[in-house]
């Protein structure tokens, strides 16, 4: 009989087919970049948890990858007779196995007992963590260890890092012992169900749906989709702002293609998208776009930021998952129509904010609109810089002046332009190839989107990255961000009808 790990039982909880595929066709799994990033963050938080729960570094760490399962379980049993904090203690019982992030010795009424802490990199207690805790407690208690308390610790995003490696306060605990202890019959049922799924000769007939994304993005999605009927030629999700309730209603009417949606169920913009899609034609209200921009002349600036978040803050004064802007690109178009470029990129690995904020104020001039694409992001980051440097009135004034001049091109694009190749999206990456086909992100070497920019930043700031690799990453980042603002320039030019400018 197969022994199921906690992750396999959690896969079952998400989808029986997922478990079957993990057991019998694991090579079909293709995890997204987002899933890989989650694993990386999880490991990072796990490392910090060891510092927090074992500041004297007297604890024992069990590494199943090097020790093997049998040795890991045996060493856990040996360590349970001592008083050390144990990390990754392993247990097997009742057809399941599990490893505990942290085990802390304690005394209850004069007797030795243990407190288990499971560490998560999220910022709240998710419902599906309760299943995780139930499995941990079932296996650990079943194996005979005196588990008295079981907590789930997640990141407290209201906490501020004081610096000097002091991460006490990063994690917030939620006691789940009572609830987890009461669910052992349920866990037994999951193990029995996992055994049934395992014994099935064929993968279960389950179609894709919302469950494929929650609680985890499933790596078998492409495989499952390939088994299903081909998607509609013009799928419903291309309709802008179509809510899940409307999609459900349409699905219940057997409608999967936007051509079949009754007119009265669409708003004006959705009807426009459908018209452009079906006729393969572009919509451009050139007069309206030009009127939207007419009041704002030259000089003009075009701004874009690249940023990154750290679950575990690196710099004093930072909160978990706070956005750190490490780069900006700024094109400036003067009154004579001459275009110049300014940029700032900090790969020192230090807090990049103050030098960047000062360079930004120095580069943005004193007047003229500052165009961005999706203003909430840039405005939000500048406001955070203002809060950070509230003690520096001149810097705050300079940043506030930039916010007051920001003009967002996204709402103009949404209202005045649509091309069928956008497939219902007005992201810059979708709009740019339609408006200015000569500008392409996929022709860039290396970094081609925001996620890749973050990966490049992490690699470039890693102390072990070789100087020539760091230089190559710097070039890729600068080229990518420069294209983002040049794209905004060209978009503005088309929308403003300023085709006489040689840009
Ligand atoms: S993609 Fe969806 S249906 Fe397929 S195994 Fe994963 S969760 Fe199940």
Nearest CA owner, ligand 1 atom 7:
212
Ligand 1 atom having least distance to the Cα of 207: 3
- CA dihedral (209, 213, 215, 218) positive or negative: positive
Answer whether residue 231 shows pLDDT above 90: no
Report the alpha-carbon distance of residue 310 to residue 313 in Å, rounded.
5
The topology under which CATH files domain 4-199 is Lambda Exonuclease; Chain A (3.90.320)
Answer whether residue 34 shows pLDDT above 80: no
Q: What angle do CA 38, 306, 155 make, to 5 degrees?
A: 35
pLDDT at residue 12 in the model: 97
Report the alpha-carbon distance of residue 186 to residue 133 in Å, rounded.
12
24 lines ligand 1 (CB under 6 A): no
409 lines ligand 1 (CB under 6 A): no
Answer whether residue 246 shows pLDDT above 90: no
pLDDT tens sequence across 124-136: 999 999 999 999 9
- Count the residues in the chain: 503
pLDDT at residue 194 in the model: 98
218 lines ligand 1 (CB under 6 A): yes
212 lines ligand 1 (CB under 6 A): yes
18 lines ligand 1 (CB under 6 A): yes
pLDDT at residue 71 in the model: 97
Answer whether residue 497 shows pLDDT above 80: yes
Ligand 1 atom having least distance to the Cα of 211: 7
- Domain boundaries in the chain? 4-199, 229-281, 285-503
N-to-C CA span, the chain: 69
pLDDT tens sequence across 268-325: 999 999 999 999 999 999 999 999 999 999 999 999 999 999 999 999 999 999 999 9
pLDDT tens sequence across 425-444: 999 989 999 999 988 888 88
pLDDT tens sequence across 458-491: 999 999 999 999 999 999 999 999 999 999 999 9
Ligand 1 atom having least distance to the Cα of 14: 7
pLDDT tens sequence across 152-172: 999 999 999 999 999 999 999
Q: How confident is the model at residue 413 (pLDDT cuts 50, 70, 90)?
A: very high
The verdict on pTM exceeding 0.85 is yes
17 lines ligand 1 (CB under 6 A): yes
pLDDT at residue 1 in the model: 85
The topology under which CATH files domain 285-503 is Nucleotidyltransferase; domain 5 (3.30.420)
The secondary structure element, H or E, covering residue 344 is strand 339-345
Residue for token digits 């959705």? 270
pLDDT tens sequence across 35-73: 777 888 888 899 999 999 999 999 999 999 999 999 999
18 CA distance to ligand 1 middle (Å) = 5
Q: Region 15-44: what's the mean pLDDT? A: 89
**Mean of pLDDT over the chain:** 95
Partnered with residue 108 across adjacent β-strands are 111
379 lines ligand 1 (CB under 6 A): no
pLDDT at residue 40 in the model: 83
Answer whether residue 252 shows pLDDT above 90: no
9 CA distance to ligand 1 middle (Å) = 15
222 CA distance to ligand 1 middle (Å) = 9
Nearest to 402 by CA among 342, 362, 344, 374: 362
Report the alpha-carbon distance of residue 377 to residue 375 in Å, rounded.
5
Pocket test for ligand 1, best of 8, 212, 219, 227 (most atoms within 8 A of CB): 212
11 CA distance to ligand 1 middle (Å) = 10
- Two domains, one topology: 4-199 and 285-503: no
């Amino acid at each position: 009989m197969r022994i199921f790990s906690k992750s396999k039982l959690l896969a079952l909880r998400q989808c029986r087919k997922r478990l079957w595929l993990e057991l019998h066709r694991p090579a079909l799994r293709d995890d997204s970049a987002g899933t890989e990033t989650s694993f990386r963050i999880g490991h990072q938080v796990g490392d910090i948890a060891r510092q927090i729960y074992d500041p004297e570094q007297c604890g024992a760490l069990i590494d199943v990858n090097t020790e093997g399962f049998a040795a890991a379980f045996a060493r856990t049993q040996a360590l349970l007779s001592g008083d050390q904090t144990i990390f990754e203690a392993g247990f097997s019982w009742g057809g399941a196995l599990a490893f505990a992030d942290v085990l802390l010795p304690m005394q209850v009424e004069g007797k030795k007992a243990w407190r288990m802490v499971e560490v998560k990199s999220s910022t709240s207690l998710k419902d599906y963590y309760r299943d995780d805790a139930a499995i941990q407690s079932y296996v650990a208690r079943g194996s005979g260890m005196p588990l008295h308390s079981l907590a789930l610790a997640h990141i407290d995003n209201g906490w501020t890092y004081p610096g000097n490696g002091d991460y006490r306060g990063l994690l917030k605990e939620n006691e789940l012992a009572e609830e987890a202890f009461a669910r052992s019959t349920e866990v037994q049922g999951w193990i029995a169900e996992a055994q049934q799924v395992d014994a099935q000769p064929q993968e279960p007939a389950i179609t894709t749906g919302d469950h494929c994304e929650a609680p985890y993005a499933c790596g078998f999605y492409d495989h499952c989709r390939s088994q299903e009927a081909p998607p509609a030629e013009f799928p419903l999700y291309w309709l802008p702002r179509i809510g899940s309730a409307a999609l459900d209603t349409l699905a219940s009417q057997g409608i999967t293609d936007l051509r079949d949606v009754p007119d009265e169920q669409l708003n004006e913009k959705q009807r426009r998208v459908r018209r452009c899609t079906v006729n393969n034609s572009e919509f451009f209200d050139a007069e309206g776009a030009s009127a939207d921009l007419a009041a704002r002349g030259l000089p003009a600036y075009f701004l874009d930021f690249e940023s990154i978040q750290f679950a575990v803050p690196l710099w004093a004064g930072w909160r978990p998952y706070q956005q750190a802007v490490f780069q900006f690109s700024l094109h400036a178009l003067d009154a004579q129509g001459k275009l110049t470029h300014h940029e700032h990129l900090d790969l020192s690995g230090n807090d990049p904010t103050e030098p960047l904020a000062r360079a930004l104020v120095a580069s943005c001039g004193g007047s003229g609109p500052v165009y961005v694409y999706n203003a909430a992001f840039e405005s939000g980051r500048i406001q955070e810089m203002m809060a950070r440097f509230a003690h520096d009135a001149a810097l705050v004034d300079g940043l506030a002046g930039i916010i007051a001049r920001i003009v967002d091109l996204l709402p103009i694009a949404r209202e005045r332009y649509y091309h069928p190749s956008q497939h219902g999206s007005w992201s810059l990456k979708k709009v740019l190839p339609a408006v200015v086909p000569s500008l392409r992100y996929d022709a860039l070497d290396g970094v081609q989107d925001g996620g890749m920019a973050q990966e490049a930043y992490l690699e470039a700031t890693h102390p072990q990255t070789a100087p020539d690799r760091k230089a190559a990453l710097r070039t890729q980042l600068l080229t990518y961000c420069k294209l983002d603002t040049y794209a905004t320039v060209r978009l503005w030019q088309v929308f403003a009808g300023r085709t006489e400018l040689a840009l």
